[in-house]
Amino acid sequence: GQCIMVCPTGALHGQDDKQKVWDALADDTKHVVIQTAPAIRVTIGEMFGMEVGSLVTGKLVSALKRVGFDRVFDDCFGADVVVMEEGRELMERLESGKDLPQFTSCCPGWVKFCESFYPSLLDNLSSCKSPQQVFGALAKTYYAEKAGIDPDNIFSVSTMPCVAKKYEAQRPEMDDSGRQDVDAVLTTRELGEMIKQIGIDIENLPEQEYDEPMGYATGAGVIFGSTGGVMEATLRTVYEKLTGERLEDFELQKVRSQDFNEAEVKLDEDRSINVAVARGTGNARKLIHRVLSGEADYDFVEVMACPAGGCVGGGGQPIYSGRDRWARMVEDRVARADGLLKSDGRKDIKVAHENPFVKELYDSFLEKPHGEKSQKLLHTSYTDRQLYTHEERYSEQKGKEMKE
């Protein structure tokens, strides 16, 4: 019989966007910009025979320039802006005590899962868009203005380890720049194929720097690609704003690399922030049930739909066959996540609020985090997509089992 798989996150309904991007690159009237997700720089090398987890940021930029992009920017700049926005939102919620825990919202697989199965938690989702969409909205407003380009002529591409990001870019509400904020999303596989199509071997390319003003990111923005990264990046900023001191992250190291973890971050004698991280929708369910039953009392929760490592093991990453593929998959995710931590370690600035380009963005354009302009451009709302109540789902399932 035929097996029909239904993916609750929409992650299996991706289309190939290579031709759309080639067409835009061939159109002289278009100014084509690309943002690269953190996971790409530690994965694209393996599509060209390099060791898994090789960090090839400069070579990736070089390759994208040769493919023909007018500007090569870093999605991690968008992640730094998300830290500013989501961090402010968390501070506001901690102060008011309302809608806690705050759940992260940068994984479209998780957002769709929450809309479909736990709509009662939609007010707990951070209203901040994901780095991809924050970047997209800024590229067609802030960047367009700064560069003196008509935003209608900007074609905005992103390259992601994720198929659900295609769905996210197409959500009709993602048009706060006055037009669709992101025009096309390429997976790691599609991008690797495009680079191969023009006959380049990434390994032998010289290194190039990202373009300004949306190409510089701190270590905080870079670690978004591995699970626990969004949490840690945001806490680095929130902790410093609330205590005036740098967060020593040894406690949060525990939060990384497992399917579920929790930690308490002490602010002072009386105050602390309780955090948890879940990877994979099964672990998310368990965590949510603990929250809803009152068994757990968290302030801030990160959920990533992809198990074991988050985006470094996303659905747009290279796929391998062979008997040892499962073992290899786990090893590869660890190697890629290590590559991202290496990248964080090499960055002089580790906290988003010290990114000079982020400061400039707020000084000259946004004014302040979670202010009027950012609320309009960088925040969004969610939709209740629940088809059944939990009771209906349960009795339907029971009915099926009885028939069988």
Interaction of residue 310 with ligand SF4, rule CB under 6 A: yes
Under the criterion CB under 6 A, does residue 169 sit at the interface with ligand SF4?
no
The structure tokens listed for 47 are 């599509």
Look at residues 219, 165, 230, 226 and name the one whose alpha carbon lies nearest to residue 35. 165
Confirm whether 89 is a catalytic residue. Answer: yes
Q: Which 8-27 residues touch ligand SF4, going by CB under 6 A?
A: 11
* 37 touches 132 (CB < 8 A): yes
Residue 280 touching ligand SF4 (CB under 6 A): no
288 to 307: interface string for ligand SF4, x by CB under 6 A: ----------------xxx-
Which one is catalytic: 126, 127, 158, 374? Answer: 126
Contacting ligand SF4 (CB under 6 A), which of 45, 161, 339, 369? 161
Residue 39 CB, shortest distance to ligand SF4, in Å, is 7
Is 138 near ligand SF4 (CB under 6 A)?
Answer: no
For residue 273, give the nearest of 228, 303, 238 by alpha carbon. Answer: 238
Catalytic residue among 173, 209, 264, 331: 173
Distance CA 80, CA 273 (A): 21
Q: How far is the CB of 372 from ligand SF4 (least distance, A)?
A: 28
- Pick 110 or 155: Cβ nearer ligand SF4: 110
* Residue closer to ligand SF4 (CB basis): 205 or 304: 304
Amino acid at 324: D
Applying CB under 6 A, which part among 106-114, 181-189, 245-253, 361-369 lies near ligand SF4? 106-114
Cis-peptide into 213, omega within 30 deg? yes
Annotated catalytic, 126? yes
d(CA 399, CA 404): 9
- The residue within the footprint of ligand SF4, chosen from 60, 94, 107, 352 (CB under 6 A), is 107
Residue length, the chain?
404
How far apart CA 345 and CA 333 sit, in angstroms, is: 18
| Sheet strands side by side (includes 31-36) | 71-74, 31-36, 154-160, 184-187
Is residue 311 close enough to count as binding ligand SF4 by CB under 6 A? yes
337 sits near ligand SF4 (criterion: CB under 6 A)? no
Contacts 24+ apart (CB under 8 A), 24-30: 24/155, 24/157, 24/183, 24/184, 25/67, 25/68, 25/69, 27/155, 29/153, 30/153, 30/154, 30/155
Binding flag, residue 125, ligand SF4 (CB under 6 A): no
| Active-site residue, selected from the candidate residues 59, 76, 105, 106 | 106
Count the residues of the shown chain that bind ligand SF4, applying the rule CB under 6 A: 14
3-class DSSP state for residue 173?
coil
Residue 45 engages ligand SF4 in binding (rule: CB under 6 A): no
- Looking at 61-69, 72-80, 102-110, 142-150, which segment touches ligand SF4 (CB under 6 A)? 102-110
Angstrom distance (rounded) from CA 235 to CA 275? 10
State yes or no: residue 134 binds ligand SF4 (CB under 6 A). no
- Residues in the site for ligand SF4, rule: CB under 6 A? 11, 107-109, 161-162, 164-165, 304-306, 310-311, 314
